[in-house]
């Protein structure tokens, strides 16, 4: 098993990438700390892990709150004795996120609080735990839109994911000699509830799909396999990267006429 004897904390694990990653990591031998604000979904993820013979606990945490992030790491260490993998995955894509003119300040602030500040707080409290474990892997979920301009405006989301990339690079350099690796996972457009709620018309879906060389949305499970590589010792010389898993979209992206 690729994650035998490791403990992984995964935020946003009640659905989508987070749930698929939690299930896969558990299959590979990791003990899982499932973190979310969706208690029912989080409990379901734990049940699914237990049904396949794995170990997991659920922790309710609002990642935009420092006390919640501190508590989730503390519970991980109290329950399982250590923390080896921190997957800062939770995020939002607000339905009223638009261009700079039409996006409300409240939408900007909420998006930044969760998508950018939440990753910072996860690292703030996760890094000391990884030090105590002798090192480990941090994976921060960014996005392909941090690398290219999105054809469908979502200025707060795009800016927040750009912040995640910058944070990831700096932390990777600062902590490289502590055996702590920090990488950003950059998914392309996925067929998840999060994106489908945002691309809520066929026209919006088509506008995104037309740029993807593979001609389809990705699946959350495909992102989980990428996260597995970054979490495992197989990526022991990989840090500070933009790990792009996007069906080729960033290689072929052009502005629509």
Give the three-class secondary structure for 57. strand
pLDDT digits (tens, 9 = 90+) for 166-209: 999 999 999 999 999 999 999 998 887 777 777 777 777 777 78
Rounded to 10 degrees, the C-alpha dihedral 103/88/23/34 comes to -100
Phi, psi of 136 (to 5 degrees): 165, -165
Residues labelled as active-site residues: 157
Question: How far is it, in rounded angstroms, from Cα 60 to Cα 255?
Answer: 41
What DSSP character marks residue 163?
H
User: Residue 30 in 3-state DSSP?
Assistant: coil
Report the Cα 152 to chain-centroid distance in Å.
21
Can you give the pLDDT at residue 205?
73
Q: pLDDT, tens digit, for every residue of 224-257?
A: 999 999 999 999 999 999 999 999 999 986 544 4
Residue 118 has pLDDT above 80, yes or no: yes
Question: What residues contact residue 147 under an 8 Å CB cut-off, 6+ apart?
Answer: 165, 186, 242, 244, 250
Lowest mean pLDDT among 5-14, 98-107, 151-160, 218-227: 151-160
pTM of the full structure? 0.94
- CATH code: domain 7-243 is 3.40.50.720
Per-residue pLDDT of 67-94, as tens digits, reads: 999 999 999 999 999 999 999 999 999 9
Write out pLDDT tens, residues 2-57.
999 999 999 999 999 999 999 999 999 999 999 999 999 999 999 999 999 999 99
**CA-CA distance, 62 to 44, in Å (whole number)?**
18
Q: What is the pLDDT of residue 256?
A: 47
């Amino acid at each position: 098993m690729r994650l035998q004897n490791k403990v992984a904390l995964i935020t946003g694990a009640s659905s989508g990438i987070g749930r698929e990653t939690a299930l896969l990591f558990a299959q590979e031998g990791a003990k899982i700390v499932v973190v979310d604000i969706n208690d029912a979904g989080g409990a379901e993820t734990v049940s699914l892990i237990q049904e396949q013979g794995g170990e997991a606990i659920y922790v309710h945490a609002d990642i935009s709150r420092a006390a919640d992030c501190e508590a989730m790491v503390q519970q991980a260490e109290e329950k399982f004795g250590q923390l080896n993998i921190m997957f800062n995955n939770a995020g939002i894509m607000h339905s009223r996120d638009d261009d700079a003119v039409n996006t409300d300040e409240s939408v900007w602030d909420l998006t930044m609080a969760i998508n950018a500040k939440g990753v910072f707080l996860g690292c703030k409290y996760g890094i000391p735990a990884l030090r105590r474990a002798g090192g480990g892997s941090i994976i921060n979920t960014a996005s392909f839109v941090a690398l290219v301009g999105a054809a469908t405006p979502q200025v707060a989301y795009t800016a927040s994911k750009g912040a995640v990339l910058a944070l990831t690079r700096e932390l990777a350099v600062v902590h490289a000699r502590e055996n702590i690796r920090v990488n950003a996972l950059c998914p392309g457009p996925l067929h998840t509830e999060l994106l489908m709620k945002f691309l809520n018309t066929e026209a919006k879906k088509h506008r995104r799909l037309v740029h993807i060389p593979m001609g389809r949305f990705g699946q959350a499970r495909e992102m989980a396999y990428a996260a597995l590589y970054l979490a495992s010792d197989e990526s022991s010389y990989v840090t500070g990267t933009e790990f792009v898993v996007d069906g080729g979209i960033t290689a072929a992206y052009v502005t629509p006429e």
